[in-house]
Amino acid sequence: MQGELNFYYGPMGCGKTRELLKILHSKKEDGFYVGLLKPKVDKKGEDHIVSRDNNRYKVDFLVDKEDNIYMEVCKYLIDNNLDFLLVDEAQFLSTKQVDELSDIVDILNITVICYGLKADFKGELFEGSKRLIEISDNLIEIERQCSCGRKKIYNMRLENNIPVFDGNQIMIDGVEATYEAKCRNCYKKLKKKYNK
């Protein structure tokens, strides 16, 4: 089996973590060794991946921006087997770390499957997502429909149920901020209404 780097992306609430957990269970049932990784900046759940229906799974790798993921996996392989590495909140990784994930695929022949947002609350690419779009073997969009019928692509940030359009790029959903996915058209209308 040849390793691949895959990126599943979509807006908030589209089922990325649910998809990750589905792959986790099916690969384990098929007898594969699966590792879980997430960036430490995602404070929700601390060292666990937490789905919207509150399922919790402890990660094998909790990485800081400076951590070398390739080296962490090499150390892990001394005592463990690994066929698949599933990465939650991959948008928060650095360009260098995404390149390290590609080394895990190309040198160690381990399939890496990443899940994350494509863009932030302003509609701008996250660093990790940008690099994954550039170098992934497969890009898989997980779609969700807006109430108007169009595809959701924006992750609108809310404060006191009011849309906001300025601020830090990274504010964690359910911890520091609230988000609601919208299509481009609805996002633009709300931005025109609230961004005075």
Active site residues: 89
Kindly state the helix (H) or strand (E) to which residue 178 belongs, with its residue range. Answer: strand 178-183
Q: How many CA atoms lie less than 13 Å away from 181 in the CB half-sphere?
A: 20
Between CA 104 and CA 181, with CA 6 as vertex, the angle to 5 degrees is: 130
Query: What are the strands, taking DSSP E only, across 111-174?
Result: 111-116, 138-141, 152-159, 162-164
Tokens matching residue 29: 């049932």
Give SS3 for 137.
coil
Which among 147, 175, 179, 139 is positioned nearest to 162, based on CA atoms? 179
DSSP strand pairing (178-183 vs 152-159): antiparallel
| CA-wise closest residue to 172 among 49, 55, 43, 45 | 43
Pairing of strands 138-141, 5-9: parallel
Euclidean distance between CA atoms 134 and 22, whole angstroms: 26
